[in-house]
Each structure stands twice: as structure tokens, then as C-alpha cells.
Structure 1
Amino acid sequence: MPRGFCGHGSAPPPAVQPRTPLTRIIHQNNEKKSYCQAWHGFVGIAPENTLPPGACSGNGVSPDKRLLFLKYSGEYFGLNERRFALPSRRLRRGVLPGFGPALGLSLFYLCLLVLLPLSTIFLRSSTMGWQAFWEAVTAPRVIASYRLSLLASLGAALINAFFGFLVAWVLVRYRFPGRDIVDALVDLPFALPTAVAGIALTAIYGPEGWLGRPLAHLGVQAVFNPLGILIALTFIGLPFAVRTVQPVLEGLDKAEEETAASLGASRWQTFRRVILPPVLPAVLTGFALAFARALGEYGSVVFISGNMPMRTEVAPLLIMTKLEQFDTEGATAIAVVLLGLSFALLLAINLLQARQQRLAGQ
């Protein structure tokens, strides 16, 4: 390396007129010592005949500094700067392929995994005829299963939306012993098979369980009751509510809360006007995911509900009962109505979420 490049000697590097964003950064910063650190970190050698001991201190350098060193050294030694430049046209084109290939691949993937299986349900139910379809979906037993599924799913989603926000707030804003364990426990319903969850909940809330026995003394029965279905659906939907809110809370700027407090805002005003607007879309997303997950839950509910018609029989259990009775057309008809109800509710939630995002942006 030439004399004076790493800070020793009297000959400074020649001034370079900034022409690209990288050269402007180098010209403004003018950190010759960082270039020496980049020489150590990128090249991996320290020539003893050119760099005296202590001329360039530091244990490492970031990749950005190495890139600055390459850019600066290229201009200093007369190398072609196009080799190190980042063309703006290439950056504007993006990393992934163009809009056409990306859109086509995405639509193909969605059609193969989502639309194609769902279309078979509609085609299978269309062979029944309107009269038979209407009789299958309006039977008293089917209506009771719809009502129980929707009410239990909505109740579980509301509970998860509230407590999911609370759990996410505690994990983000506080540091306490065992925090990592609590954070890992949130994801446990994801990894636990639903059948295992149903057996565990039945054992705990049963008449001889740890929680079922004190509840029985109070006259509350959780197993083989709609309350047990609500507990099971709340258990499997909690991670959706927590994991959608937690990243948004981590991205909030505490300076805005401090500014609101310094201007005389109360805690409730700070929460309602500063924290809630950016977090509300994430809460709605967690609510929608928890509701959709609970609406189609079968494995954990079948153990704790008892599958009693007109009382504890949810729609997925009724569909399985129809299939066991070789009534495929009746099962597909129930599935079509359940799919339509869930899609309508999810669409309404997404529209409300989009509206909240527009209001937050304004």
C-alpha cells in the first residue's frame, strides 16, 4: 500500500470528487483509519513493510466499511469504479424476478394448494340438487352445530385477542426471570398435537382433575360441556394472537409515549391515542387467525366435548360423523356452509383492518 494511506507519513490520499452515493459517503466521512481496518478485515493480512505496529487499531470492521475500502482503494489506485458501484437502475428493478413471473408462480401455488381442494367441495355438493342441499344444511342438528361452532369460536377469539395483547405487552415491555421460558410456552400449542391437547385438557378439567375437582365443588362442569369447548379453542388459538401483536409492539417508539406524557396526557389517553392505533390492525389479524383456527378445530374438541348432538356437537364433529355414516354429500354440504360463513367473517375483519390502517396512516 502507498505511503500515507493508513495514517502514517505526510502524503494524504488524493481528493476524490464525489460522483456516486458511495463516494459521497467516503468524501464526507473521510475515515482513513476505517480503511486500514477494512484492509485487515477483508484482505486478512497486515504487510509489515507497509503498516507499522499500531498504525491501524481495531479488531474488526463491518461489511459496509469493507465496501467503502474497496471503493476508495479502487479510485485511489485508478481501478474501474464500475466494479464497485451499485447501479441505481439495478436497485430499482428489485431482487426477485419481474411482476409477471412472480404473480404467475404465486397464483399457481395458491390454486394448487387452496382453490383446487376447495373447488372439489363445491363441485361435490352441487350434485345434490338445491332441495336436497337445503334440507341437509337446515336440519335442526346442523343448525345447532353451526351456532355452537360460531359462538365458541368467536368467544375464544375475543379472549385470545385480549389476553394475547396482554401477554405480548409483558414479553416486550418487561424483563423478568424466566421470560424466555414464558416466550417458549406461547408456541407450545403450535407444536403440540391437537389430540394430545384434548387428552391433557380432559385430564385437567375432568371431575378428578386438578382444576375440574374445585370447579365441580362450585357447581361448574367443564368436560362434556360447551365450556370445555371454549377452553380447548382458546388453548389452540392463543399463539396466533400473541405472535401477530408482539412484533408491532417491538416496533413502537417509546419517545412518542414519553412525548404524550410530557404534554399532560393520562395513561388511558396515551394508550388510546398513541399505542392502540398502530397495534389495532395486528390485534384484528390475531383475532381473525384465532377465529379461523378455532372454527375448524377437531382434534382437541372431540375429547373434551363428548360429541352430544344438539348440545356439544360442533360442525367439524358433525362432518366427521356424516363421513363415518358414509353420507359424503351431507358432509360436503355442511362444509360448504361453514366455509362460506368463515370466509364472510374473515372478509369483514380484513376490511375493518384495512380501514384501521388507513385511519392510522392519516
Structure 2
Amino acid sequence: MSTATRKRRVIPGFGLTMGFSLLYLGFIFLIPVGGLLLYTSMMSWEDFWRAVSHPQVVASYKLSFSASLIGASINLVFGALVAWVLVRYSFPGKKVVDALVDLPFALPTAVAGIALVTLYASTGWVGQYLTIFGIKVAYTQLGVVVALTYIGLPFVVRTVQPVLEDLEAEREEASASLGASRFTTVRRVILPSLLPALLTGYALAFARAVGEYGSVVFISGNMPYRTEITPLLIVAKAEQYDYPGAAAIGTVMLIAAFLLLLLINGLQWWTQRRGL
């Protein structure tokens, strides 16, 4: 194709910018991940399987992934509600509430963990009242879910909020004027427009929760087979100089998280293709 017929770009330099992008992604993502996989591949299959299938490790898998899925699911519902309130309504202190949504981004995870323990311990501000009803949060699996829900909320809110801002309220009014019920308006008008953003926020919240460490170690109690998460187990093995074991467990977490994110993104692509 000649230069005359080649379509001119408004902003030139695609090759240069693509090169820098790939270089950056290589140093930040591909080289560390490749190094982890390469280090793991040096282990024999027996050693790898022994490291990743130990009952203590399996128990940590179950807790990490189940608590992450529960936390992301909670944020999927309530994050959408928070985004809806912030976009559709005006009320005193709205900017303060909007700023508080980003607090988990700014607050160090260790500080967040200490704050959660202060709130939900049996003698804490909230925990002392929950204890009356026999509900214990700190040092239980419920505490892990609370911590992962806390750190994942902004991902859903900030993903859904811009889509809601671009979604005209007139569409809802038109649906109501045509006789549609509120449930039908939500199901047929609002939800299809929000579904890709909801799935993206869900995937981001889940991915963040799977790798969370700082805010969980304080409130979980770190009891083996009960409240010990996989990232903590990886750190413990690294501190014991068991680098092959830490790499093997990290590889399993990496593959599992990648497959789940691939599934969620595939579902998002399918909904966009079908126009749901």
C-alpha cells in the first residue's frame, strides 16, 4: 500500500508508543510472571504436587477464593447501589460520601486491618453489640469476608459510576411513560447498559481480593486450616526460605485467578455481543 493511499493518523507514532507499551508491560508484568513460572518449572512434578496439595494449603485455597467471590458478589450489589445514589440523587454531604468511597484506595492495608479489628473485635465499637447476638467477626472467616468486601467496594463503584452518568434519565422516564413497571425498567433498560461495567467491576474486585494481604492478616487471626489465607501462607514459606513451595503455591493462585478472570471477561464479551 502506497503512502498516498495509507490512512493518516491524527496522532502519529503508533510504532514508537506500542514499543514503549510492550516494554513497560514486559518489565512490570511479563518478566515477573515468567520468572515465577520458570522457577516453578524447575521443580519435579512430585515436589510441585506435594507443595500445592498439602491439606493446609488446600484449606487456604478454599478460604481465599470463596471469601473473594463472596466479597466481590456483595460489592456487585451494594457497589451498584452506591453508584446509583451518587449519580441519581442530590443530598447534603454527597461530595463527602463520594470521597469516602476512595478511602480503601488511599488507606494503607495494614491500617485498614487494624481499624477493622478495632471495630469488630468482641470488645470493639461494633463487635461488642454483635456478640450479644452470637455473631463473631474478628478472627473468623466472616472477618476475612468483611475485610475483602471493604477493599473491593471502590472498584465496582468507580467502574459503574461513569456509565450511569452517561445513561440519560430520560430513558427511564420514557419506559415508565410507556407503562413499564419499575422492575421491567430496571431489567430491560438499565441493567443491559450496566452489565458490562458491573462484570468489569466484579472482576477487578475479585482480583484485588484474591491477592489481598495487609488488611486480612490482622482480622483473620491466621489460624491454620480455619482463617489462614493463601497470600499469608506464601509469605510464611518465603520467610522460612522455602522459595520453591512459595513459588508453587503462587503459580496455582496465578493460574486459578487468570482462569476466573478469563471466564468473567468472556461472559462480558458475550453479553456485549448479544446486546444483553
Normalising to structure 1: TM-score of the pair?
Answer: 0.73
Indicate whether 1:101 and 2:101 are aligned. Answer: no
1:326 counterpart (220, 226, 241): 241
Which residue does 1:278 correspond to in 2? 193
Distance in 2 between residues matched to 1:163 and 1:319, nearest whole Å: 31
The one-letter code of the counterpart of 1:255 is E
The one-letter code of the counterpart of 2:28 is L
Bigger proportion of residues as helix: 2
Contact (CA 8 Å) 1:245, 1:283: kept in 2 or not? Answer: yes
Q: CA deviation at 1:104?
A: 2.2
Measured against aligned partners, the alpha-carbon deviations of 1:159-196 in whole angstroms (never above 9, x if no partner) come to: 01100000000000000000000000000000000000
Q: CA deviation at 1:238?
A: 0.5
Indicate whether 1:180 and 2:95 are aligned. Answer: yes
Contact (CA 8 Å) 1:232, 1:300: kept in 2 or not? Answer: yes
Distance in 2 between residues matched to 1:91 and 1:272, nearest whole Å: 42
Indicate whether 1:295 and 2:210 are aligned. Answer: yes
Q: What is the 5 A alignment of 1:49-60?
A: none
SS at match of 2:275: helix
Indicate whether 1:156 and 2:71 are aligned. Answer: yes
Which residue does 1:206 correspond to in 2? 121
Q: What is the 5 A alignment of 1:52-91?
A: none
Which residue does 2:219 correspond to in 1? 304
% identical equivalent positions:
60
Measured against aligned partners, the alpha-carbon deviations of 1:15-66 in whole angstroms (never above 9, x if no partner) come to: xxxxxxxxxxxxxxxxxxxxxxxxxxxxxxxxxxxxxxxxxxxxxxxxxxxx
The structure that has the greater radius of gyration is 1
Which residue does 1:197 correspond to in 2? 112
SS at match of 2:214: coil
Aligned Cα root-mean-square deviation (Å): 1.5
Which residue does 2:25 correspond to in 1? 110
The one-letter code of the counterpart of 1:95 is I
Contact (CA 8 Å) 1:278, 1:357: kept in 2 or not? Answer: no
Q: CA deviation at 1:96?
A: 4.5
Q: CA deviation at 1:217?
A: 1.3
Measured against aligned partners, the alpha-carbon deviations of 1:87-113 in whole angstroms (never above 9, x if no partner) come to: xx9995122523x33322222211111
Distance in 1 between residues matched to 2:7 and 2:19, nearest whole Å: 22
Write out the 4+ residue segments of structure 1 that deviate beyond 4 Å after TM superposition. Answer: 89-92
Which residue does 1:24 correspond to in 2? none
2:146 counterpart (215, 226, 231): 231
Whose RCO is larger (CA < 8 A, sep 6+)? 2
Distance in 1 between residues matched to 2:119 and 2:12, nearest whole Å: 50
Unaligned runs of 5+ in 2: none
Measured against aligned partners, the alpha-carbon deviations of 1:64-94 in whole angstroms (never above 9, x if no partner) come to: xxxxxxxxxxxxxxxxxxxxxxxxx999512
Q: CA deviation at 1:255?
A: 2.0
Normalising to structure 2: TM-score of the pair?
Answer: 0.95
The one-letter code of the counterpart of 1:94 is V
The one-letter code of the counterpart of 2:10 is G
Distance in 1 between residues matched to 2:224 and 2:260, nearest whole Å: 25
Distance in 2 between residues matched to 1:243 and 1:263, nearest whole Å: 31
The one-letter code of the counterpart of 1:93 is R
Which residue does 2:45 correspond to in 1? 130
Which residue does 1:34 correspond to in 2? none
Which residue does 1:339 correspond to in 2? 254
Distance in 2 between residues matched to 1:109 and 1:281, nearest whole Å: 28
